[in-house]
Structure 1
Amino acid sequence: MIYAVCFTNFGPYHLARLRALAARLGERGDRLVAYETAGGERLYPWARSDGDEPFDRVVLFPDRELEELPAGACGEAMTEALDRDRPDAVAAVGYVRPESLALARWGRGNGAATILMSESQAVDRPRVWYKEMIKARRLRLFDAALCGGPSHRDYLVDLGLPADRIALGYNAVDHDFFADQTDAWRARPGSREGMPAAPFFLSVCRFAPEKNLLRLLQAFRRYRGQGGSWDLVLCGDGPQADDVAAAIEMSDCAEAIHRPGFLQADELARWYAHAAAFVLASVSEPWGLVANEAAAAGLPLLLSSRAGCARTLVPDPEGSTGARFDPMDVRDLAGKLGWVASLAGADRLAIGRRAREVAAEWGPDRFARGALEAWGVAATRPKSRKTILTFGNAAGR
């Protein structure tokens, strides 16, 4: 049997998940077809990997970037690929992208199990009633879902999908890669070259308003003003880069703030290896896969309470793997920076080890098991060939 999965562009996260799913399918004599919408994406400029894979990789537009593709062309190309490959189950990311809707509609019309892959939470952004109505209607295209954690499942239940048709495990990274790479970097002489001499907080994210970097900088300034001695490293780039640069320049601690830029996984692992703690300050963060990476690296975690991963990777009682904070409260964030910096080195190492243990449960095989669970649930639902009408592209995420 054939399981078809579609992502817009394959980055390290996607490849790790797909390899794990292909391995699980291979054990039972089934096959994975992985559709990639475009050969590149400006939003996430990952280094391309075109080596042999344990799944059939189909790129709908190999020489195009995602942002330049017409919506209609994406849907048509997906339908043509599905007509050719005839999968028994299809999994789509969300219910907005044209190829995702084409995938779901094809599955409903051809008797295939239809699975939604989702990482949306109710708290991600203000919700508008008519958009929620459109989402609920589109959700009827799917027999089952695979989502990140409890907050994502709750949102799908609110939209009308029964909880017993929702599997967990969508948000996974290559945990072993980051664990092994960071351990290797720490053991390599001279690998800290070009990094701050002081211990440093590390934040890895796109430089965009929802990542809340301006408040993080305010909190860091407060931390330093209260006698803190750690530095801050911001890895990433994006549309708010100029605002971030201006805020750093206007602060009275610019010499303690560092910006290495957007880094690919291999180089990013070096920064994880030598950081003293990780912080993610987003006001909207469906999951926060960088927190999984940091946990795999063995770092204490300071996570925004709005991040989808927050209660999974920093469970109650807080302190065992790190701490959560209100991303709108600069005092709270500054206090958490001060808390982790005040810990004895041995205590921080113990917290980091526990974070690694917790995150290990959310590696690629968790995605694979969740994807197969969702297929199993979807396969038990009576199939309808009736086409479900939807409205435009207004639903958003």
Structure 2
Amino acid sequence: MTRPLALLWDNFGPLHEDRARAVAAAFGRDRRVVGIELCSKSDVYGWRSFDDSGFERITLFPGQDLTTVSTPRLLARLIATAHSLGRGDYVLCHWNLPAIFLFAVSLRLGGSRVFTMGCSKFDDKPRRAWKEMLKATMFLPYQGAIGSGLRSTDYFRFLGVPAARVFGEYNTVSIARIRRLSGQPIAPGGTPYAERRFVSVARLVPKKNLAILLDAYRIYRNTTTAAPRSLVLCGSGPLEPTLKQQAERLGIAADVCFTGFVQTEEVVHHLADAVALLLPSIEEQFGNVVPEAQAMGLPVILSDNCGARDLLIRSAVNGFVVEPDNPEGLAFFMRLLAEDEALWRQFCEAATAVAPGGDVQELCRAVSALAGLPFDNGTTR
């Protein structure tokens, strides 16, 4: 029987589909590539189900989300699934879940190779030494890891994953899928410069720092020398009423569009019409929308806290990096891109040039290194 190569996530959204399909395309001739989905529903995102052709998917708890499944039930189902698949290479997300830790231990005892993947960084939040020591024990079963950017891979090494067995990049997208969904040329082609808007794609929760973004947009509107561009906020969350009230209070409500939660297809269309993506998060392990934006040739203005800036953003080259508590600085960078078409076009070309660093082929490269599988780089999928 072919030795399985399994990738595990709690719930498969479009980005996990990209990753599983790319790994299957790269290694499926030699290995049985399986995507293990814990639950068919997400307790955070409203993703629609998708076409999983191109890879084999096993869903442990159809019709449920993770909040409804106890640790013993989850662990039992995981062990039974691994028993049916056999000894192989398992790449697991969600190392922090007790069931995943115990599952990783059982895989190691059964002779499988076990790896983890994720995007956490040391600077995501205040850290305490005793908690980090306890956390490090959760990584003892893992023989390698796939991180997202320099700070993420460094954090895996800090937590005890063998340094030579930590690779990037985990947080990747299919550039080809994003461009196909848009149906438009990438920037600076497509929508005319004068008709483009600012776009934010984020859940409406405190860590996304959207109150500061609205302050920055007010400053931009009051100081721009050109016709102000509108702002589109794609996402839903508990702060929506508060943010709408803030927009009214600041006198910008007429030019701020709250779309609510939108599926990937609509996100891509908003990106295709954007002058720049804005992501000023206080806490952001990575920022999956950054490689999506770069797939469309967009400059990105983001906070230093976003992990995506490590490898994908070069300030004043293909975007800008700003402090999350600096609305004046954010507004200044917005004005630069909104008023100087030559500069914007230069940034678009630079964003397109770096976009392959966020493509799913980078994940395949990391899987190849961990599992010892040949990888010919393929083509952008």
Fold-level match, TM-score > 0.5? yes
Aligned partner of 1:266 in structure 2 is: 265
Partner residue, 1:14 = 16
1:4 counterpart SS class:
strand
Moved more, 166-175 or 239-248: 239-248
> Which secondary structure state, in structure 2, belongs to the residue aligned with residue 291 of structure 1?
helix
Task: Note closer, same or farther for the CA distance 1:200–1:267 as it changes in structure 2 (3 Å cut).
Answer: same
> How far, CA to CA, are the matches of 2:244 and 2:10 in structure 1?
31
C-alpha deviation, 1:96, in angstroms: 1.1
Q: Report how far residue 55 of structure 1 moved.
A: 2.5
1:304 CA drift (Å): 1.0
Q: Tell me, what secondary structure is at the counterpart of 1:172?
A: coil
Tell me if the contact between 1:4 and 1:91 (Cα under 8 Å) persists in the aligned partners. Answer: yes
Q: Distance in 2 between matches of 1:110 and 1:100?
A: 15
2:47 aligned partner: 46
Structure 2 CA distance, aligned partners of 1:144 and 1:8? 20
Distance, in Å, in 1 between the alignment partners of 2:254 and 2:52 is 45
Q: Which residue identity does 1:146 align to in structure 2?
A: I
Paired position in structure 1 for 2:328: 331
The verdict on how the C-alpha distance between 1:143 and 1:269 changes in structure 2, with shifts beyond 3 A counting, is same
C-alpha distance in structure 2 between counterparts of 1:110 and 1:303, whole Å: 44
Match of 1:389 in 2: none
Q: Which amino acid aligns with 1:116?
A: T
- Give TM-score, length-normalised by structure 2: 0.91
Letter in 2 for 1:32: V
CA RMSD of aligned residues (A): 2.1
TM-score w.r.t. the length of structure 1 is 0.87
Deviations 1:53-86 (A, max 9, x none): 2332110001212222223222221111112211
Who is 2:55 aligned against? 55
Matches within 5 A, 1:270-349: 270-315=269-314, 318-344=315-341, 346-349=342-345
Q: Following the alignment from structure 2 to structure 1, what is the Cα–Cα distance between the partners of residues 216 and 81?
A: 50
Identify which of 215, 218, 242 aligns with 1:218. Answer: 215
SS of residue in 1 equivalent to 2:184: helix
Is the CA contact 1:207–1:239 (under 8 Å) kept in the aligned structure 2?
yes
Instruction: Write out per-residue CA displacement over residues 369-390 of structure 1, whole angstroms, 9 at most, x where no aligned residue.
Output: 212212239xxxxxxxxxxxxx
Q: How far does residue 99 in structure 1 lie from its aligned partner after superposition?
A: 4.0
Counterpart pick for 2:372 among 367, 373, 376: 376
Q: Deviations over 1:310-355 (max 9, x none)?
A: 131112xx222111111122222222212222222x4312311321
SS of the equivalent of 2:45 reads coil
Show the counterpart of 1:159: 159
- Tell me which of the two structures has the higher relative contact order, counting C-alpha pairs closer than 8 angstroms and 6 or more residues apart: 1
Q: CA deviation at 1:306?
A: 0.7
Report deviation, 1:252: 1.5
1:143 corresponds in structure 2 to 143
- In 1, the alpha carbon distance for the partners of 2:369 and 2:27 equals 12
> How far apart in 2 are the matches of 1:247 and 1:77?
47
Mapped to 2, the partners of 1:126 and 1:243 lie a distance apart of 27
2:378 matched residue in structure 1? none
- The aligned length equals 366
Q: Deviations over 1:22-70 (max 9, x none)?
A: 112124x111121100011130111101x45233211000121222222
Query: Which blocks of at least 5 consecutive residues in structure 1 are unaligned?
Result: 378-397
Q: How many angstroms apart in 1 are the aligned matches of 2:49 and 2:181?
A: 19
Amino acid aligned to 2:214 = L
Percent identity of paired positions between Structure 1 and Structure 2: 30
With over 3 angstroms needed to count, the CA separation of the structure-2 counterparts of 1:186 and 1:144, relative to structure 1, is closer
Give the structure 2 partner of residue 203 of structure 1. Answer: 200
Deviations 1:197-250 (A, max 9, x none): 953110001111110000111111111121361211100001221221221121
Instruction: Supply the distance in 2 between the matched residues of 1:269 and 1:372 (Cα, whole angstroms).
Output: 30
Q: Which residue of the partner structure matches residue 361 of structure 2?
A: 365
**In 1, distance between residues paired with 2:306 and 2:370?**
24
Q: Is the 8 A contact 1:31 1:55 kept in 2?
A: no
4+ aligned runs moved over 4 Å, structure 1 = none
What SS does structure 2 have at the residue aligned with 1:140? coil
DSSP 3-state at the match of 1:278: strand
Instruction: Measure, in 1, the Cα distance between the counterparts of 2:172 and 2:60.
Output: 24
Residue type at the aligned position of 1:361: G
